[in-house]
Amino acid sequence: MKKKVSVEHLQEGMYIHDLNCGWVEHPFLSNRFLIMDQHAIEQIIELGIQEVYIDTRKGLDVGVGQSIEHVNRELDATIEKVANGHLARNNDGPQETQTLAHQGFDKRPDPVEFKEEVGVARRIRTEANDVVVHLLHDARMGKRVEAERLEVVVEDMIGSIFRNQNALLSLGRIRHMDRYTFEHSVNVAALLIAFAKTLDFDMATIRHIGTGALLHDLGKTRVPESILNKPDKLTNEEFIIMKRHVVYSYEILSRTPDINEIALQVAAQHHERYDGTGYPHRLKGESISLFGQMAAIVDVYDAITSDRCYHKGEPPTVVLRKMLEWSKHHFEPILVQKFIQCVGIYPPGTMVRLKNDQLAIVLDINPQGLLNPVVKVIYDTRERSYIKPKVIDLSLPENDLYGVKSFEDHRDWGIPAENFIPR
């Protein structure tokens, strides 16, 4: 039987089925292994891991813990509640969200249809990538960071997110492994801007958040490229060096003119964890700023859904479930729920299987019904052939017979999902 147990109950002879730490670099060769000695347990605890999954068929059992089936049932129930808006109401988030909320004086772009925005979003994403590439290059060459070059692109990203956030967010599913560092920065910025919009921050605050997100990994320019681009797992010594990038980011940005404190908090705290197990300062709870807490959630989400040379990205729906589980310890729970409400149970660009066994790409989410997005149907699994694409709004009563049966990994079907996102 597979079950989840607290690390305090681990002992030699147990078989680790899942370390349950998708964002953590660890020294073990695999996420699954037999615990041979006390040192392995100490390493797990040192990593800040709170709970793991064990397989009692392959190792010792313990008289506590929850079966994986029980955990999944609880997660399913919570996700359904979050999807229906029951857990993350406007008045139950961290107090700081209330003091920074939109006051009604900002000029905000009018919403448009997905198909109207996606072409504009493609241009904005390309420009953002180009700007980040140049800024990272300048920083690596020791030049002054010209943060003012970000002003136009941040403003454009905000405009696109407010007109139709799903256009820009869906393009974040188009990944290139060799461009991870700067594409990750742009993805984090788009997601954080959308998150801030969901929390109803004023526009000035959203601009600072977007700037901090685009620059949050600037310190990686001081990390040796042999470590930054290493195709294998990092050694303990290399990971210590890699973790310094957060401190370097803060040092660079704190000396950069016109960088607001909010942007600094995004960059300096995106690896802190709510239970105090993060880095570089092991901040805990509300000692992490609201913006740092938001950045931590978004950074982990994008990192785990991305393909890396040593890591195959996981489908967004799987990652959101894991983050909901991890919010018991590592993230502020209400913020995680609100982030899920922001991006949807099936985020834009995700592939889903419908009840009729056809495959579809999610184009748009319905805020009032996150389990019923707008999709483009593209493939029939029974006939194992493409079909004429058709857009369906699953929230409409006449489309109830379709419905989402499950999420799918487009790579399992050899289908390039990005080809079906409108140009």
SS (H, E, C) 233-265: CCCHHHHHHHHCHHHHHHHHHHCCCCCCHHHHH
* E strand intervals along 44-144: 51-55, 66-67
Assign a CATH topology to domain 114-343: Hypothetical protein af1432 (1.10.3210)
Quote the pTM value.
0.91
Q: What is the pLDDT of residue 98?
A: 42
Residue-level pLDDT, tens digit, the chain, 423 residues? 999 999 999 999 999 999 998 767 777 888 899 999 999 999 999 989 999 999 999 999 999 999 999 999 999 999 988 988 876 443 444 444 444 444 445 778 899 998 899 999 999 999 999 999 999 999 999 888 888 889 999 999 999 999 999 999 998 887 776 677 789 999 999 999 999 999 999 999 999 999 999 999 999 999 999 998 888 878 889 989 999 999 999 999 999 988 999 999 999 999 999 999 999 999 999 999 999 999 999 999 999 998 876 678 888 999 999 999 999 999 999 999 999 999 999 998 889 999 999 999 998 888 778 899 999 999 999 999 999 999 999 999 999 888 999 999 888 999 887 777 776
403: which 2 tokens?
């419905």
What is residue 383's DSSP assignment?
A: T
Beta-carbon count within 10 A of 388 CB: 6
Q: What is the pLDDT of residue 198?
A: 95
Cα dihedral value 155, 157, 163, 167, nearest 10: 170
Cα–Cα dist 67/60, whole Å? 15
Cα–Cα dist 28/355, whole Å? 40
Decide: helix, strand or coil at residue 360.
strand
Q: What is the pLDDT of residue 300?
A: 96
